[in-house]
Amino acid sequence: MLHAEKLAKRVISGERTLTILHDLSLSVAAGESVAILGKSGAGKSTLLGLLAGLDTPSDGELTLFGHALSRLDEDGRAALRAGRVGFVFQNFQLLPTLSALENVLLPLELSPRAGETRTAQQWLERVGLGERTSHQPKQLSGGEQQRVAIARAFVTDPELVFADEPTGNLDPDTGAQIIDLLFTLNKEAGTTLILVTHDHALARRCDRCLRLTNGQLVPFEPAPANSGEGDE
Amino acid sequence: MSDINWRLAARSLKRDLRAADVRALFVALVLAVAASTMIAFFLDRLERGLERQAGQMLGGDLVLEQRDPFPEELRNTLEQAGFTLSDQVDLVSMISQGERFQPASLKAVDDVYPHYGVSHVGRGNGVEQIVSGPPAGEAWADPRLAELIEIEIGDRVQVGQMELTISGIIEREADQSAGFGNFNPRLMLNTADLEATGLVQPGSRIEFELLAAGPPAALEQVQGLLAQLRRDGVDVRDVRVDRPQLGNALQRAESYLGLAGLAAVLLAGVAVAMSTRRYVERHLDTAALLRCFGASQYQLVTIFSLQLIGLAFMASLIGALLGLVGQAVLLWLLTSFLPMRLPPPGIMPLWLGIFTALAVLVGFAGPMLLRIKQVSALKVLRRELDPLPPAAWLVVGWPASYLAACCGSIQAASL
């Protein structure tokens, strides 16, 4: 599904070159769920951007769905994602002038299929928002907005879903509901899930946990539920 | 172009009409189009009205005059170019009624006369508006001639070797062309009677006129022929050339109204630029999301361009309708200052409306739209990753070039 070999990412800040990731290798099998934890500024979002083909590494090789991303330009990488990759973001990334239904429809409109409106409606029903399809994001709570975003991520039946701090902007109770929803849908759809989080409770739900530290990924066992250590 | 892009652009436009910036953009475009089409409609009608009036004064769109009859070959050429021809003969001769003699300016017209306008002719029981000349065997006299030789309707006058019956007193001729004979009072007769009068003799002081009516394209087509005729000594009067006073007035009106229209378009352009800026800022997130979901750079540019072109077309139609209403109001306000009734509005200003909307959009919004093309998909994770604003030279230089081009065209039109 996804294979990264000796990835590195360096950025130039003023006269200094900052190394965010180096010698990073990762393999994710189809249907697997992987949590990537790390402190703020550790480079989690940078890594997510690289793995999803939104950004290019300074060094190393990345293969997604059997295609070497280094051989594809930005449009080629976008075409590879179309309909096969879903995203859930910390700040939901819903378009404010669109209704819940229209937001869910958006990825379907780029790779149209028959009955797309019905499909989008069904996904909103699955996330518990069947009665709120015409509501705009500002009329929805944070939890409801993230439900819309989850419906949007799954609506194309993707093979791979990337989630960037999906509970980061939610209160603990709402966050727990969103986690349940995300993993339930993921299990039902058999999707591969790569999520970046601070939240140990969320990480514990994944098949595998990795910690990003000093630019590299290391296996990690999140704190048990009753240990009192909830966040990175 | 893919159906997906068309469909996505149409859907996006429909959804976007809820947004304040798109509504502001739409209103600004409508105002730009309304202002420019209102003035264009008005000027178009004024120009065509003035041209028609000039044609009426000349007696045709093209008038040829010489001392000899015009050859058949020339007539054929003009007819093939699209002109309708009318013959007219002017001469000065003595006319009499009983013992009273008076030199008169004779004007013989054929059955096609007049190309434009109507004659106002007294028939004894009031003035009639007549779209023809006198029939064969009859003549119309002007009031001065009637007074000088004391004639009334029904009297007979001697013209050369023929007697004609006075059937009308000319209050106003359909065409008001002034010839050498206009110092003398007018007598109008039919060309069919001319030969019988015996006045057309070798050496007679006669002017043969060929009056041609036709579209501007026909006039354009025979310009080479007219130049040759001028060189051959034929007096050629062209409706576009032989109306210097009307032409200058029109050009001044065009310049002033053109400047007013340009000012309105510029103000609307500033509003377009401001609302486009908000539109683009809002759509950077949309563009980044679409990139995430698999849209190519080309697809993004196509979708947003189609969306804005759609908006411009809708604004053009509504703006043109408003312009049409506006010019009617303008006309109503200026009715008392206009020397004539204007013809109905033409279709050309509508095209100008569409062109204006697109030009304002490209001129004022174009540079900012480039940002959408440059947006990175990574912006969904790092919101601060906005594409760089367009270069200052592009933001200022592009509309400035547009403004200079508009001013240049107005200046050229006024020369």
Measured CA to CA, the distance from residue B415 to residue A102 in angstroms comes to: 55
Lowest-pLDDT range of A64-68, A143-147, B221-225, B258-262: B258-262
State the smallest CA–CA distance between residue B277 and chain A in angstroms: 17
Q: What is the ipTM of this complex?
A: 0.88
* CB contact set of A3 (below 8 Å; sequence gap of 6+): A26, A27, A28, A62, A63
Q: Please give the interface size between A and B, counted as residue pairs whose CB atoms are below 8 Å apart.
A: 77
Residue-level pLDDT at B279: 84
Measured CA to CA, the distance from residue A69 to residue A21 in angstroms comes to: 17
Q: B8 and A74 in contact by Cβ < 8 A?
A: no
Place of tokens 């066992």: A221
Measured CA to CA, the distance from residue A149 to residue A88 in angstroms comes to: 6
Q: A93 and B380 in contact by Cβ < 8 A?
A: yes
CA of A95: which chain B residue's CA is closest? B286
Q: What is the CATH number of domain A2-219?
A: 3.40.50.300
Q: Best mutation site among A77, A109, A157 for testing chain B: the one with the most B CBs within 10 Å?
A: A109
Domain ranges of chain A: 2-219
Each residue of A59-111: pLDDT tens digit?
999 999 999 988 899 889 999 998 899 999 988 889 888 899 999 998 988 87
Cβ atoms of B315 and B23 closer than 8 Å? no
pLDDT of B178 over the 50 cut = no
What is the value of pTM for the model shown?
Answer: 0.66
Residue-level pLDDT at B64: 92
pLDDT of A11 over the 90 cut = no
In terms of DSSP H, where are the helices of A38-129? 44-51, 74-81, 100-110, 116-126
Q: B296 and A78 in contact by Cβ < 8 A?
A: yes
Q: B294 and A79 in contact by Cβ < 8 A?
A: yes
Which DSSP string corresponds to B39-71?
Answer: HHHHHHHHHHHHHHHHHHHHTSSEEEEESSPPP
